[in-house]
Amino acid sequence: MNATSKNRLLLLVPVIALAAVPFVFGSFTVSLFNDIGMAALVVLGLVLLSGVGGVTSFGQAAFVGIAAYSSAWLNTHLGLSPWIGLPFALLVTTVSAVLIGILTLRLGGHYLPLSTIAWGLSVPLLFGNIATLGRHSGISGIAPISVGGWQFSSSEAVFYVIWILVGLVTVFSYRLLDSRMGRVIRAVRGGKVLLASFGADIFRVRLALFVLSAVFAAFSGWLYAHANRFVSPAPFSLHASIDYMFMMVVGGLGQLAGGIAGTTIVIALKSVLQDILPLFSTHAAQIQAVVFAILFILLLHHARGGVLSLASRFIGTRSGGGAPAAISGEPVEPLPRRALPAKGEVLLSVDGVSKHFKGLIAVNQVGFDVRAGEIVGLIGPNGAGKSTMFNLLTGTLNLTAGRIAFLGKDISGKSQRDIALMGMARTFQHVKLRPQMSILDNIALGAHARGRAGYLSGGFGFDAQEERRIRAEAMHQIERIGLAGREHELAGSMPLGTQRIIEIARALASDPVLLILDEPAAGLRKGEKQALGDLLGRLRAEGVTILIVEHDMDFVMKLVDRLVVMNFGTKLFEGAPQDARADKGVRAAYLGDAA
Amino acid sequence: MSWDIASILAVDGMAGAAIYLLAGIGLVLVFSVTRVIYVPFGDVAVFSALTLAFIEAGRVPPTIGLVATLAALATLMEVVRFAGLREFARIPKAVFYWGILPLLPCVPAWIFAGSEMPALAAIALSLALVVPIAPLTARLVYHPIADASVLVLLIASLVLHFLMSGLGLLFFGPEGFRTRPFVQGTLQLAPGFSVSFQILLMVGAAIVLAGLFFLAFERTMIGKALRATAVNRVGAQLVGIRPAATATLAYVAVSVLAGIVGILIAPSTTMYYDSGLIIGLKAFVAAIIGGLNSYPLTALGAVAVGMLESFASFWHGALKDVIVFSLLIPALLVRSHFSSHSDEEPEEEV
Amino acid sequence: MGKSHIRHLLAGAALAVGATLALGQSAWAADIKIGFITPLSGPIASQGIPFSKGMAAGQKYVSEVNGRKIEFIQLDDASDPSQTARNARKLIDEDKVDVIVGTGGVPGAMALASIASEAKLPLVSFTPLFLSGDKAAWSVTTAQPASLMIDAVVDHMKKDGVKTIGYIGFSDSWGDLAYNTLLKSAEGAGMEVVTNERYARSDTSVTGQALKIVAAGPDAVIGGTAGTPGALPYLALADRGYQGAIYGTHGIINPDFIRVAGASAEGLLAPTGPVVVADQLPDSHPSKVVAAEFAAAYEAANGEAPKDAFSAYAFDAWKVIADAAARVPADMEPGTPEYRAALRDAIFETKDLPVTHGVLTFKPGSPYGADDRAAVMVKLENGNWVLQ
C-alpha cells in the first residue's frame, strides 16, 4: 500500500465520522452542520474565485438568494417539485452570473470588488421589492426535497443531501484544480499577458470561474430554500456575503480544505460564543460581535494563511506544494505535433513596421525576415526599440504602420492570444512563472492549447488520458532542460537562471513554430548565461527556430545565424554576426555605447 | 418633475455630497498612504455624532472608556514590541504618544460632562474625543499587517467595522440620536425655494475643509511627506520619512474628518450605532470615481453620488440604493476604460 | 487527487470535527422552560432589547406556576431569520424548552412558527403572524392584528373627513404589512391611498419621498414605520411645509421616537395598545390594572420605568404562558412532548385574559387573540401621548 492510498483510507475517517453525526448529536447540532454544509458550498466557490483566481467577490450571497428564490417561487407559485426547481435555479443563477460577469469582470484593480459590493447590495434589495417574491416578508411554505414520496423534511434527512453535495463539490473542485483548466485557474493571477502567451483568454477563464462559483452558491441556495422552507431577503444581504468572505479568510485564502474548515469554525465559534458569553456578561449578544471581531483580527495578525496554516504548523503538513501523485511511468501516446514548415521557408516577415507613441517614434520603418530553422538575434542598445518591436511581434501592442506576416498570414491586427495559438511561443523579460506552482505545472501550462479538456471534464475526471499526455509532454520538456527529478519543486524557489530556462521549456511545451525570447540573458550570472547558451545551442541543433531579442551582444554573437541591429527605432544592420562587428554604424551605436 | 422639486432635491443632494466629499477625501488620504480601504470611516463619524448627542443630553459619553481601553491596548503593544527589541529607551516616548496623549481629551470630558456647556465647547470636546480613535485602532489592527495585500487589509477593515459597530451598540445602545442644529432658519433664495442654514453650513464647511486639506497637501511639509509616501513608500523611507509615522498622521487626519462629518450630519439625520457602513460605502463610491487617488475627481464623485441619491429617492424611494449602486457599474466601466492601468496589475500573493 | 490535497482535507476535517465537538451538550429540568429569541443586535435591535426587558418584567411578575419555576433562556438572533431558526432548534434540542417566545421582525417570527409546528411545541410571538388553519395550530401572538390597528386609524381619519391618504413606510416586511392593510381598510372606508413611498431604516434623508407626498397633496399622511427611524418622514414633511394631518402606526410608540421627532411630530395620531396611556384609561378598562402591575414588575426587573410599548407585548406573552401553564395538570412533567401539547391546548383555551394590550382570547385556527379593546387612538401633545 503506498502513501497515497493510505491517506485515502485515512480520509474515510472524517467521512464516516460525518455520516454518524445525525446518530450522535441532537437536531440542533445537526441543523448547525446543515448550515455549515450549505455555507461551505458557497465558500468552496469563493475559494476558487477569490482565493485562487484573485477575483474578490462581495456578492456571493446574492447568488444563493437568486437560486433560493427561483426554486421557492417555482414551488409555491407553480407547485413544481424541488427537483424541477434545481435545474431552474441553476439556470437562473447561471444566466445572472453570466450577465453580471460580462458587465463587471473586465474591471481592473479595486473596481471589481466595488462592483461586487454594488450588486451584492442591490440584488437582495430587489427581492424585497418584487411582489411575486413576497416582498420583504419573503416566501414561506416551501416544500421539502422528496424522493418517491419520502420527504427530507427533518434536519437529519437533509443533512445527508447537503453533505453528499458538499463532498461532490469538494471532489469536483480538487479534480478541477488538478486539471488542464485548473492550471489556468491557478495561473489567472499572473495576468492577461501570461495567459495569452499559452493561448488562454483571461476574461473567459474569469467568467467561467465566476459562473462556477455562482453555481456552487446556487446549490446552496436551493438547499437553503428546501431545508429551511422559507426565504426572505435578509439571509442574502451584503452582510451574508461578507460573512462568506470571512469564512474563506479564516480557512486560508485559496485552500479548498481550508474553506470547509473556515466555514465550520466561523459558524461553530458563533454558536459557542453564544453559549459562553452569557456566563461573563449580561450584554452577551452585543459583546459577541466584538469578541468575534477581535478573534478574527488576532487570526489575521498571527496566521494570515488561515487556520489551515496554523494547524499545519502543529500537524506538520506543509501548506502549498507538497508532493502530488507520482507520474505513472507507463508510456502514453504523445500529444499531436504541428506540421512544421520546411527549413529555410520564411516564417516571420516584418515589413516597414512603425510604432508611434503620442508623437514619439519608437519603431520606424523596420523590416526583416526570420526563416525556419535559423536563429536570429534582434539586438540594440537601450532605447533602440527592441522591446516595442517584441511587443508588436507578439501582438501585445498594435502597430501604427507596416505589416507583420507569420506563416504567410497577416497578423498585424491579431490578438496576442491568436498569435500564440498560431505557434509563436514567447518568454518574458521579467519572468512570469507561477511561484506557488510546481515546475511541472508551470511547464504543463505551455501545453494548454494542445489539450481540449474543459472545466466539467476536468472536474468530473474524464480527462485522465489527455492529462497524462500533457504531463508526459511537460516531463519531456523538463528532461530537455535537464531538470528531471526536480519537477515537483516550486518554481518560485528556483534561481533566476533556472526560472528563465523553465520559461523556455514552457514555451517549448506548446510545440511552437517560432520561439521568441525577450532578453533571456538579462540579470543572469555568468554560469547561468553559460547554461542558457548551452540550452539554446542544443535547441538550434534540434532545428528549433528562435528569435532572440537581447541587449547583451556578446551572448548573442556565438549563438545566432543572423543579426538584426536596431538603434533609435530604426534598423541599423542586418547580416551575419561577424559582419556586425565590422559594421561602423553598429560599432558607433552599440559597441561604442557599451564601451 | 417640476423645477421647484428639482431644486429642492438638488439642495438635498448637495448636503449629501458635502458629507461624501469629506468622507471621500478621508478614504483617498488613507488609501494613498497605507493602501487600506478605511471602511470604518462611517463608524468614527457615528461615534462623534453620538458623543455629541450624549454631551448635549448631559450624559457622560462612553467614548471616554472606549478611548482609554484602546490607548491601554496600543500602549501595551508598543511596550511589548520595544521590550522584545530590547530598546527600553524608546518605551517612555511610546507610552507618552500612545498612552497619555490620546487620554488628554478624556480629562475635560470626564470633568465637564453632565454639566451644561456652550454648543461650540461641546462640539470641540466631541471632536477631541474621537480624534484618537482612528490612529489607535489603526495601530492595533493595521500596523501589524501593514505589508499585507490590499485584499487582506480590506478584510481587516471590514472586521474593524464590525468591531466598531459592535462597540457602538455596546456603548451607545440601539436607539438613534439627533443633535441640536447649530443654526435655525432658512435662506429664501427665490419664491418657494429656500435653503436651510444647516445645509448651507454643511456645504460651506465641506468646501472650506476640502480646500484646506488640498492646500495642506500641496503646500506644507507634512502634506509633502504624505504625498511622497503615497507615491513611493520605499523611496520616502530612503529620504527619511517614516511610513509608520505618516500613516499615523493620515489616521489622525481621517479621524478629524470623520469627527467633523459626524458633527455636521447629526443635526439633520438620526444617527444609529450602525449608520456608519452605508455612509462609508457611498463615500467609497465617490472615492472610487476619483480612482482612489484624485481629490478633485473624488469631489466630482461625491457630488454625483449625493445628487443621484437625492433624485433616486424621489423616483423610487425603496430602490434608492439599488439605483445608486447600479449606476456605479457604468461609472466604473468608464473609469476603468480611461484609467491608464496596464493590464498587468501587480500580482498579490497572500 | 494528490497526496497533499488529501493531507489538506484531513487537516481541514480534523479542525472541523474539533470545532464542533464542544457543541453537543444536553440539559434537562423539571422547571417550565421558555426559549426566548429576540434581536439584541442588528437593524431591529431597538425593538429586540425592549422585548428582552419585558420578559424580565414577566419573570418578576410571576415566576412560579403549579409549584414549578418558570425560567427563560434568551438568545440573540442578530435580526437574521436564519439565526432565529438556528436558535430555535438549539433551544428545542439542547435546552428542551416547553415553549418558544419571539422574535422581532415578521420573517423571523414566521420561521419560528414553522419550526414550532414541526417540533410540536407552542410559539407565543409578539409580532404579526400570517398563519391560518393548520399552520396556526401551534402559534399565537400577543400583537394586535395589523388590520385592527389600521382600522382604528382609518376610522379616525373618516371622522376627520380625510379622503386621500399618503403612505410612507419602511422598505421591510413591516412597511409591506402596514401598506397592504391600509389599502384594504381605506378601500372599505371609501378613501384613496395616493402614495406608496418607502425608505430604508438606515437612510439619512427622505426629502425625495416627502416631496412626492407633498406634491400628491393628500389630506393625511400615515407612516408605516417603527421606532426612532420612523421619525424621519415626519421631520422631512415638516421641513417641506406639509400642513395636513399626520398619523402613525403602533410601531412608533416609543419615547425615543418623541425625542428624535421633536416638534415635527406634534399632533401625530397613532393607534396603540392601552398600556401606553394606562393612567388616562377609565378604571373600568381591563388593561388598567395589568398595566400598573406591568409597570411595577418592569421597574423591579430593570431598575427604570417602562417607556415603550414593545416590552409590554413580551410581558403579555409571559402572562399568556403563565396563565396557560396554570391550567396544565400539575402532574405533567415539563420537558416532555405531552407537556408541550398540553401547554399548547391550554394556550388555545385562553379566554378573556386581561393583558397590557387589551384582552386576549385565543381560538384554534388563528394566531391572533386581541379584540377592539386592544386598540386605542392616542395623540402626541407636548411630547406626551394623550388618549383620544
SS3 for B186?
strand
Return left, alpha or beta for C307; rule: phi > 0 is left, psi -120 to 50 is alpha, else beta.
alpha
What confidence tier does A4 reach under pLDDT thresholds 50, 70, 90?
low
A428, three cell numbers = 518574458
Question: Would you tell me how many other CB atoms lie within 10 Å of the CB of residue C230?
Answer: 30
> In this structure, is the dihedral angle defined by the CA atoms of residues A430, A434, A440 and A441, taken in order, positive or negative?
negative
Longest dimension (CA), chain A: 92
Alpha carbons A391 and A344: distance in angstroms, whole number: 25
Question: Is C173 close to A232, i.e. CB distance below 8 A?
Answer: yes
CB contact under 8 A, A230 and C90: no
Residues for chain A: how many in total? 595
Q: How many Å apart are CA A264 and CA A121, to the nearest integer?
A: 25
Check residue C262 and give its pLDDT. Answer: 87
Q: For A35-49, A103-117, A184-198, which range has the lowest pLDDT when averaged over its residues?
A: A103-117
Neighbours of A429 (CB within 10 A): 18
Q: Are C111 and C159 found together in one domain?
A: no
Assign A200 a pLDDT band (cuts: 50, 70, 90). very high
CA distance A326 to chain C (A): 9
Per-residue pLDDT, averaged over A354-368, amounts to 88
**Residue C362 confidence (pLDDT):** 94
Q: What's the N-to-C CA distance of chain B in angstroms?
A: 51
Please report which helix (H) or strand (E) contains residue A365, including its range.
strand A360-371
Q: Which of B2, B176, B314 sits opposite C229 (nearest CB)?
A: B176
Contacts of A286 in chain C (CB under 8 A): 40-41
Residue C110: closest CA among C81, C153, C76, C149: C81
Separation CA C221–CA C237 (nearest Å)? 9
CA distance B146 to chain A (A): 10
B128 vs B234: which has the higher pLDDT: B128
Distances (CA, A) of C289 to A244, A501, B194, C356: 51, 91, 51, 8
Q: Of C272, C287, C304, which residue constitutes the final position of a domain?
A: C272
Phi, psi of A406 (to 5 degrees): -125, 125
Probe site for chain C from A47, A137, A487, A490 (most C CB atoms < 10 A): A137
Distinct helix (H) and strand (E) counts, chain C: 12, 15
Is C22 a domain residue?
A: yes
The pLDDT confidence band at residue B264, using thresholds 50, 70 and 90, is very high
Put simply, the chain A residues between 418 and 477 with a CB less than 8 A from any chain B CB are: 435-436
* Region B228-236 average pLDDT: 75
Residue C20 — very low, low, confident or very high, per pLDDT cuts 50/70/90? low
**Quick one: pLDDT band at residue A64, thresholds 50, 70, 90?**
very high
Residue A317 confidence (pLDDT): 45
Residue C340's pLDDT band, with cuts at 50, 70 and 90, is very high
Shared domain check, C317 and C231: no
One domain for residues C232 and C353: no
Size of interface B-C (CB pairs under 8 A): 97
- Which of A153, A154, A232 to mutate to probe the C interface, most C CBs <10 Å? A232
- Which amino acid, residue B325? F
Whole-number average pLDDT of chain A: 87
Distances (CA, A) of B31 to B34, B206, C164, C217: 5, 20, 52, 47
Q: Measured between beta carbons, which residues in chain A are less than 8 angstroms from residue C82?
A: 35, 228, 234-235
In a domain, B348, yes or no: no
For residue B38, give every residue at least 6 positions away whose Cβ sits within 8 Å of its Cβ, in sequence order, or none. B26, B27, B30, B31, B134, B157, B254, B280
B266 occurs within a structural domain:
yes
C-alpha torsion sign, points C36, C40, C43, C48: positive
- Is C7 close to A136, i.e. CB distance below 8 A? no
Q: Domain boundary at C214, C246, C272, which?
A: C272
Residue C151 shares a structural domain with residue C264: yes
For residue B346, is it within any domain?
Answer: no
Residue B344 has pLDDT above 60, yes or no: no
CB of A422 within 8 A of CB of A513?
A: yes
For chain B, the maximum distance between any two Cα atoms, rounded to a whole number of angstroms, is 72
Residue C150 is assigned to a structural domain of this protein: yes
Model confidence, pTM: 0.89
CA-closest candidate to residue C340, choices C98, C83, C50, C134 = C98
**Shared-domain flag, residues C186 and C263:** yes
The 10s digit of each residue's pLDDT in B31-72 is 888 889 899 999 999 999 999 999 998 888 999 999 998 999
Residue B288 covered by a domain: yes
Query: Alpha carbon A305 to chain centroid distance?
Result: 19
Output DSSP code: residue B290.
T
Helix, strand, coil percentages for chain A (3-state, nearest 5): 60, 10, 30
Domain-terminating residue out of C216, C239, C272: C272
Compute the average pLDDT of residues A506-521: 91
Say if residue C68 is in the same domain as residue C160.
no
pLDDT score of A515 = 93
Say whether pLDDT at B345 is over 60. no
- Within a domain: C383: no
Residues in chain C: 388
The residue segments making up the domain with residue B153 are 3-334
**Chains with ≥3 CB–CB distances under 8 Å to C:** A, B
Pick from C13, C15, C172: CB nearest A136: C172
All partners of chain A with 3 or more CB pairs under 8 angstroms: B, C
CA–CA distance, C120 with C92 (Å, rounded to integer): 10
Q: pLDDT confidence of C2, banded at 50, 70, 90?
A: low
Cβ-proximal residues to A68 (8 Å cutoff; 6+ apart), any chain: A89, A221, A222, A224, A225, A231, A236
Q: Model confidence at B268, in pLDDT bands (50, 70, 90)?
A: confident
Question: Strand, coil or helix: what is A357?
Answer: strand
Asked if the model's pLDDT at residue A595 lies above 60, the reply is no
Is residue C323, in this structure, part of any structural domain at all? yes
For residue C17, pLDDT over 60 is answered with: no
Q: Are C281 and C139 contained in the same domain?
A: yes
CB A374 within 8 A of CB A574: no
- Cβ–Cβ gap A312/C118 under 8 Å: no
| Domain co-membership, C292 together with C263 | no
The CATH number covering residue C212 comes to 3.40.50.2300
- Asked if C290 and C267 sit in the same domain, the reply is no
Residues 6+ apart with CB under 8 A from C114: A140, A141, A229, A230, C135
Widest pairwise Cα distance in chain C: 80
Nearest to A588 by CA among A380, A360, A389: A380
* Nearest CA among C229, C305, C237 for reference residue C260: C229
Q: Rounded to an integer, what distance in angstroms lies between the CA atom of residue B125 and that of residue B113?
A: 10
For residues C92 and C212, membership in a common domain is answered with no
Question: Considering its fold, how many domains does chain B have in total?
Answer: 1
Q: Is residue B342 part of a domain?
A: no
What mean pLDDT comes out for the span A310-338? 63
- How far is A421 from A444, CA to CA, in rounded Å? 15
- Tell me how far apart the alpha carbons of residues A316 and A312 are, in angstroms, rounded to a whole number: 5
Report how far residue C56's alpha carbon sits from residue C44's, in angstroms, rounded to the nearest whole number.
Answer: 19
Residues of B with CB under 8 A from a CB of C: 2, 5, 8-9, 12, 15-16, 19, 166, 169, 173-178, 196, 265, 268-270, 272, 274-275, 278-279, 309-315, 317-318, 320-321
User: What confidence score (pLDDT) does residue C36 get?
Assistant: 95
- Domain with C7, as residue range(s), is 3-144+277-373
Nearest Cα residue to C277 out of A165, C269, B281: C269
Question: Is residue C115 situated within a structural domain?
Answer: yes
Q: What is the pLDDT of residues C156-210, one digit of tens each?
A: 999 999 999 999 999 888 899 999 999 999 999 999 999 999 998 888 889 899 9
Residue A418, all three cell numbers: 491568436
DSSP string over A276-321? HGGGT-TTHHHHHHHHHHHHHHHHHHH-TTHHHHHHHHHH-PPSS-
Q: Are C240 and C338 part of one and the same domain? A: no
Nearest alpha-carbon partner for A70 in A210, A238, A237, A224: A224
Residues C294 and C191 reside in one and the same domain: no
The confidence band for C6, taking pLDDT boundaries of 50, 70 and 90, is low
Task: Pull the grid cell for residue A155.
Answer: 434536519
What pLDDT shows up at residue A572? 86
- Region of C37 (left: φ > 0; alpha: ψ -120 to 50; beta: rest) is beta
The stretch A114-136 carries a mean pLDDT of 88
Q: Is residue C379 in a domain?
A: no
Neighbours of B231 (CB within 10 A): 11
Q: What is the DSSP letter of C23?
A: T
Q: Give the N- to C-terminal CA distance of chain A in Å, as an integer.
A: 65
pLDDT at position A279: 83
pLDDT over 70, % of chain B: 95
In a domain, residue B78? The reply is: yes
Overall domain count for chain C: 2
| pLDDT digits 0-9 by tens, B187-218 | 777 776 778 888 888 999 999 998 888 888 77
Does the CB of C6 have a partner CB in chain A at under 8 Å? Answer: yes
Percent of chain B as helix, strand, coil, to the nearest 5: 75, 5, 25
Does residue C348 form part of some domain?
yes
Residues ≥6 apart with Cβ < 8 Å to C179: C167, C169, C193, C196, C224
ipTM: 0.90
User: How many CB atoms are closer than 10 A to CB B121?
Assistant: 13
